[in-house]
């Protein structure tokens, strides 16, 4: 059943974005608890190759998640530019809904790119019990929590993009 918020599709979309993000974060948290419990009595391995790969992957994907999500959002905005133009027949609510849909795609991509390396770091911890893996996982999880798409953050992004559209006309 679709989320309905008194006929306000923007509110429903914002809630959907938040639910998706919470699902991605909670999956990582649950797996982290399981990884920690399973590895509780394990002796640390001497070889930490997997740990170094996981930590490097976490650092790389932290950077790449921001870059790729911005590229995707920019391309989607450019593609939707005609719809987002400030013609009289286009309502402001339609413009905001279009940008909200782009924000949803951008956010899912960004969080998915952060979630994968966290899982890799946790699997690395399970295999080698090197604390660097846990530190990397906690750092990325912290980034995920700090970037949580609160309604005000979503609104700010949409308002900024609406201001930028007339400046970027070709």
Mean pLDDT over 27-40 rounds to: 93
Q: Using CA atoms, how far apart are residues 95 and 26, in angstroms rounded to an integer?
A: 32
Looking at the structure of the chain, the number of domains it has is 1
Q: How far apart are the first and last CA of the chain?
A: 41
Q: At 78, is the pLDDT very low, low, confident or very high (cuts 50, 70, 90)?
A: confident
pLDDT value at position 117?
Answer: 96
Boundaries of domain holding 52: 10-35+46-167
In a domain, 148, yes or no: yes
- State the pLDDT at residue 79: 86
Query: Stretch 69-78: mean pLDDT, rounded?
Result: 93
Look at the alpha carbons of 73, 74, 79, 85 in this order and tell me if their dihedral is positive or negative.
Answer: positive
- The residue behind tokens 């509780």 is 40
Please report whether residue 4 resides in a domain.
no
The answer to whether 105 and 73 are in contact (CB under 8 A) is yes
Residue 6 Rama label (left phi>0; alpha psi -120 to 50; beta): left
pLDDT averaged over every residue in the chain: 88
Kindly write down the DSSP assignment for every residue of 78-124, as one continuous string.
HHTHHHHS--TTS-HHHHHHHHHHHHHHHHHHHHHHHHHHHHHHHHH
- Assigned domain for 138 exists: yes
Whether residue 4 has pLDDT greater than 60: no
Query: Quick one: pLDDT at residue 90?
Result: 56
Examine residue 2 and state whether it is found in any structural domain, yes or no: no
Classify residue 120: in a domain, yes or no.
yes
User: What DSSP character marks residue 44?
Assistant: P
Give the helix, strand, coil percentages of the chain, each rounded to 5: 80, 0, 20
Average pLDDT over residues 60-68: 95
- Identify the pLDDT of residue 85: 61
Residue 3 lies in a domain: no
Q: Which tokens is 44 given? A: 């640390």
Phi/psi at 69 (5° precision):
-65, -35
């Amino acid at each position: 059943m679709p989320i309905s918020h008194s006929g306000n599709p923007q509110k429903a979309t914002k809630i959907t974005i938040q639910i998706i993000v919470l699902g991605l974060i909670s999956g990582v948290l649950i797996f982290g608890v399981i990884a920690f419990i399973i590895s509780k009595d394990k002796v640390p391995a001497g070889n930490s190759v997997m740990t170094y790969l996981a930590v490097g992957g976490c650092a790389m994907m932290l950077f790449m998640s921001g870059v790729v999500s911005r590229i995707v959002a920019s391309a989607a905005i450019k593609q939707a530019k005609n719809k987002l133009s400030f013609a009289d027949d286009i309502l402001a609510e339609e413009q905001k809904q279009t940008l909200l849909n782009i924000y949803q795609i951008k956010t899912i991509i960004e969080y998915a790119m952060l979630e994968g390396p966290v899982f890799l770091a946790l699997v690395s911890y399970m295999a080698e019990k090197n604390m660097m893996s846990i530190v990397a996982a906690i750092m990325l999880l912290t980034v995920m929590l700090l970037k949580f798409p609160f309604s005000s953050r979503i609104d700010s992004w949409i308002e900024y993009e609406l201001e930028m559209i007339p400046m970027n006309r070709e």
